[in-house]
Amino acid sequence: MMKGLRTMGSLMIILAVSLIVPIAGCTQPSATGTPTPTPTPTPTSQPTPSSQPTQVLSPSPVSGSDEAHISLYYNLKTYSTPYEGIAPLPGEVIYAIDVTVDSDQPIHTDDSWFRIEYRRNATAPLQDLEPNSVFDYPSTMIGGGAAPAKGRLLIALPTPETGNQVRPYYFKSLDQQTGDYKVKAPVYGVLRTT
């Protein structure tokens, strides 16, 4: 009788195990003896059928820049006697700066764009000056196939010493510029030696 109960108990254990295994699934123990968690997928929002594209579109091209790139070339001469209506004081000379300005994009230009960076000698601080006069520089469009603009800047400054610097640059604040294209940083002139 005892043997029959044991056999019956063994059968019940086998039956219980056979019911538990399909419910729990077969898993492999990890090397550390602890079960590894199964990641749960995160829900994602699905677009409504009306918002799904019918074809794959490439991204739209980035629009072009609104920056105009300026080229400024100049020649420099000095006069110690009156020139073009400007008379130098004792210890001064007249700087005549012939400028040529062009752009890669159409912009409006006039004589209000010019400033002069000046240093009397190698140790003097840089100064930011306006020309005394501007001659023959037009108020016009440059770039976009238009011809470069040319003119002459005049300024009376102390007689130069070793290490002096007189260099025109082209710029005005963005809020004073008009048109679709803008000059976004000062453009310093390149001295022509010929």
**Using the 8-state DSSP alphabet, how is residue 77 labeled?**
E
Ranges 1-5, 74-78, 172-176: which has the least confidence: 1-5
Q: Work out the burial of residue 153: count CB atoms within 10 Å of its CB; fewer than 13 is exposed, 13-18 middle, 19 or more buried.
A: buried
Q: Domain residue spans in the chain?
A: 70-191
pLDDT by residue (tens digit) across 5-36? 455 555 455 544 454 444 444 444 444 454 44
Contact 86, 132 (CB under 8 A): yes
- Taking the mean position of all CA atoms in its chain, how far away is CA 132? 34
CA dist., res. 8 & res. 12, Å (int): 6
The CA-to-CA distance between both ends of the chain, in Å, stands at 125
Total Cβ atoms within 10 A of residue 189: 25
pTM for the whole structure:
0.66
Total Cβ atoms within 10 A of residue 177: 16
pLDDT by residue (tens digit) across 55-93? 333 333 335 799 999 999 999 999 999 999 999 999 999
The pLDDT of 29-50, averaged and rounded, is 46
Question: Can you name the residues that pair with 158 across neighbouring β-strands?
Answer: 92
- Taking the mean position of all CA atoms in its chain, how far away is CA 92? 42
CA dist., res. 160 & res. 94, Å (int): 11
Q: Which amino acid is at 168?
A: P
pLDDT score recorded for residue 193: 81
Pick 70-191's CATH classification: 3.90.1720, 3.30.750, 2.60.40, 2.60.120.
2.60.40
Give CA separation, 94 vs 1, 37, 85, 113, in Å.
132, 85, 11, 20
pLDDT by residue (tens digit) across 121-164? 999 999 999 999 999 999 999 998 999 999 999 999 999 999 99
